[in-house]
Amino acid sequence: MGKDVIIACDFASAEELFGFLEKFGEKRPYLKIGMELYFKEGQSLVKKLKEKGFKIFLDLKMHDIPNTVRKASKIIGALGVDMTNVHASGGKRMMEEALLGLKEGASEAGLEPPILIAVTQLTSTDERMMNNELLIEKKMEDVVKHYAELAKEAGLAGVVCSPLEAPMVDNMYLLSVTPGIRLLGDSVDDQKRISTPEGARKMGSTYIVVGRSITAADDPVYAYDKCILEFCL
């Protein structure tokens, strides 16, 4: 599995996103499109980006009954994205149906299905909240490991996790997609468990997701190249 840097495109509109991408000239970085941009701009934005040659991680974090997730996944499978995700807390059957839906949609469109990964626990959920509010009275590490095992049993390729959890995920022969990345000297913002791109490489992340360290940099292309140099080479 090729290592890569994925830019989290947390922009309010397609116009803002294309203004940002202009700076990259002929470069075609891997992009993460999340709910905000997708709900605003829909499939047409994704298709436009694919036509221009960008790889897309469609970060919609699906979580619903298995039948609904299968039908929704079929639509995403036909869209031609490279990666997408579901919540592991939806259960093994839901993840299996998501995988089937993606394969059906892709096959009908004559495409390869996207890589499917699972969200284990959101980084906004800490152990206390998980224990007291969600009533999952376990250690965070054990819950992440259990959800990663469920994802593996369902046939998924990997999980979204903190770079600090990447070694455990690597040991399970799953790929890891890790947000919470900052270049040295950058603001930590609201992230808690962070790493540099170099640290993530050493911990065995497969993909790093980098938002503000690139999108809010004075020179985003320089910051992106620095991430590639530290993480991929």
Q: How far is the CB of 111 from ligand C5P (least distance, A)?
A: 25
Query: Stretches 98-106, 109-117, 166-174, 210-218: which one binds ligand C5P (CB under 6 A)?
Result: 210-218
Out of 10, 82, 97, 230, the residue judged to bind ligand C5P by CB under 6 A: 10
Instruction: Provide the CB-side half-sphere exposure for 171 (13 A, CA).
Output: 7
Question: What beta strand segments (E) does 36-114 contain?
Answer: 56-62, 83-87
Out of 211, 220, 223, 231, the residue judged to bind ligand C5P by CB under 6 A: 211
DSSP 189: T
Decide if 61 is catalytic: yes
Q: What DSSP letter does each residue of 150-179 carry, written as one string?
A: HHHHTT--EEE--GGGHHHHHHTT-EEEE-
Query: Stretches 15-23, 73-81, 128-136, 177-185: which one binds ligand C5P (CB under 6 A)?
Result: 177-185
* CB distance 47 to 22 below 8 Å: no
Q: How far is the CB of 108 from ligand C5P (least distance, A)?
A: 29
Query: Stretches 20-28, 37-45, 205-213, 219-227: which one binds ligand C5P (CB under 6 A)?
Result: 205-213
Closest alpha carbon to 192 in 180, 178, 177: 180
List 47, 50, 55, 61, catalytic entry = 61
Out of 102, 116, 160, 174, the residue judged to bind ligand C5P by CB under 6 A: 160
* CB distance 191 to 180 below 8 Å: yes
Q: How far is the CB of 67 from ligand C5P (least distance, A)?
A: 26
Residue 160 has phi, psi (to 5 degrees) of -90, 130
Q: Which residues are catalytic?
A: 61
Which residues contact ligand C5P (rule: CB under 6 A)?
8, 10, 34, 122-123, 160, 179-181, 189, 191, 209-213
